[in-house]
Structure 1
Amino acid sequence: MNSQKTMEECRRYIEAHLNEPLTAEYLSEKFGYSFYHFAHMFRAYFGVPPGVYIRILRLEKAAQAIEQGESIARAGKDAGFETQAGFAKAFQRHFGLSATRYRKLKQGGNQSMQPQIMESRKIRLIGYEYAPTGVDALNYCKDGAYWSNIDFSQYADYHNQFAHRGEIGVWVNPNETSGELSYFYGIVSNRNEPMPRGFKELILPDAKYATFSIESPEPFSTTQLAASVRKMWQFIFTEWLEERKIIFEENKLCFEYYRGKIIQVFIPIK
């Protein structure tokens, strides 16, 4: 029996019967294999166990239905989840946000999920760099809006004076050995402006970017804004880059740009 052909038939069968009870044991019997052999063959072919694969397809089907306007309860039921509580827990674990929040983001909310593609000329920044502390390195999805964790008291006057130019939070990677990210936060500066004591200069080179916009919440809330920025990072790196097959330009820098009520996340692309 051709195992590759069997696995493709199995995949098509699962996709067509997602709203029905499906188990690895049932599928092994249907396609004529022992449970043990089928489980190993399935994992070798798809990279995950049958149960995980089925759950992922169900969640993706439900997410697509929610995006198209279906109610959350109906989307979960039609995708084969027996209980709403089970669906909610699985959705949160897989996508990193609730189904309700996912629907709001897809329908607009305070974030634009459709980016603009633009070319940006070199930008000079004056600011300060924060290296990760503790055992965990920084990452885009978990530590977006890292400024919300920083004490700006020693820099407040300088930033308040020039914040109208725009403030930028940049993910930088100064450690060539560990590869750990650091966070640089600074103001947009002209070429000849002197740097205050204790500040650093960072040059963002010419690059092509996909830019995602976020509106400040009304009434303004630092906590809510930071959460929205983190969700945007999460969406970009767990969904958008994968779905669109966009090539991330690893030699350039990602950054957050704050100016007035609009915040933009810049992702360098090829």
Structure 2
Amino acid sequence: MDWLNAMNSAVEYMEANITEKLDIEKVAKIALSSTFHFQRMYHMITGVTVAEYIRRRRLTLAAQDIISGEKIINVAYKYGYETPEAFTKAFRKMHGISPSAARKPGIELKAYPKLSFQISIKGDKDMNYKIFDKGSFKVVGKQRKISMVDEQNFNQVPKFWYDCMEDGSHQWICSKAGKLGILGVSKDFDKYKDEFNYMIAVEEIKDTIPEGYVSAIIPAATWAAFESVGPVTEALHDLVRRIYTEWFPSTGYQHDCAPDIEVYPVGDMSAADYKCEIWIPIKK
């Protein structure tokens, strides 16, 4: 229940400071998580990014303020828009009408409610996982710094994979894949304020590392490894959501301070029977 209480406290903090500039680091601390893991967890559970949630909530409340008689220019500045024009554009995009039109009787507006987190016990689908300890090991591959500002990481990581496939890096990495296969490693969360490093990698190789490639040490940790079956894009997304909404709340574990690792055996990642794993460092 600590996980649920922490997540709901984070939402309450965002709601209480909805007109202020979002301090995502403070929100993440309230949620007992790193900035990266909070943003990723929030998006996986709710289907929207933190920034999008804030935007929708502000425009929902802004509509209520306008209906109650507040001046549109004051409402625009209240909810963080630099100009009335920017506010009008955002308002129209969500509600389908201009702010001034919202005052007309009988006009339909859209409302995005405040979220709250609850445990949902479904039991209709097994979640296969194993817990094990593993000593430190080295990985080698391509690395790119990923930004967490406005949740850009959700677009930048897939683009990194695409770029590596285009420039031949992915093929080289696949040719060096060992027992685990290809690894997607999210790491260095504590080194940067709004960024982290993401590697497309394999376990340590004996060959000389080519120019442009890097190596990194994965620290010893206790891992929970979850099996995903199906096309990676859909299956892995659903699995991560279930890990945070079902597994963490029901087991008493929490995320430890170590990289997240996606383990991709060489094969057709779009196949219906493709199996991969996500390793999450855990502690009681």
TM-score relative to the length of structure 1: 0.50
Of structures 1 and 2, the larger Rg is shown by 1
